[in-house]
Amino acid sequence: MPAPRATPACGVEARAHWEHFEHDADIGVRGFGPSLASAFEQAAKALTAVVTPIPDIAPCSRIELTCQAASDEELLVAWLNALVCEMAVRRMLFSRFSVAIDHGQLRASAWGEPVSVRRHRPAVEVKGATFTALRVAREPLGGWLAQTVVDV
């Protein structure tokens, strides 16, 4: 069960952060942010943190990604799956993200480094983002939530 989180008071900007939540044999990832793009950036950090701690990844190399979808929920799944693909193909981990979303199209930069098994000690391999517990929504008192379950 995730730890309770404070909800911002009226007029207070939502703080960007991420968390994990339990889901059977898999794991849930949640991103929170003052904007939709920020929530997607935080969800990407939560995805990476399933594998290894974010501070252990140096943002040495930058890659560019684009994806599109008909809804914000489908776009979150497409975004996370694009990252999973890049992690596998490039054998990299990413720790910093910059996302822009416009009318169902996402453009992003991700910074990271090649995986070092000795230094990063990957805990699991993320196979992909799913549609389980998928939710992208404005929070009642401000900010955005982007969450889904990833298959490990």
Write down the CATH number for the domain with range 17-151. 3.55.10.10
pLDDT of residue 13: 53
pLDDT of residue 6: 38
Torsion-angle region of 143 (φ positive above 0: left; ψ -120 to 50: alpha; else: beta): left
Residue carrying the six token digits 């990299």: 92
pLDDT in tens, 82-137: 999 999 999 999 999 999 999 999 999 999 999 999 999 998 899 999 999 999 99
pLDDT in tens, 1-56: 333 343 344 344 578 989 788 878 799 999 999 999 999 999 999 999 999 999 99
Domain boundaries, the chain: 17-151
- Whole-Å CA distances, 112 to 13, 17, 44, 148: 28, 19, 12, 23
pLDDT of residue 9: 40
pLDDT score of 73 more than 70: yes
Helix (H) or strand (E) holding 48: helix 36-51
Separate counts of helices (H) and strands (E) for the chain: 3, 8
- Whole-Å CA distances, 5 to 10, 77, 100: 16, 24, 26
pLDDT of residue 23: 75
pTM of the complete model beyond 0.95: no
CB of 135 within 8 A of CB of 78?
no
pLDDT of residue 105: 98
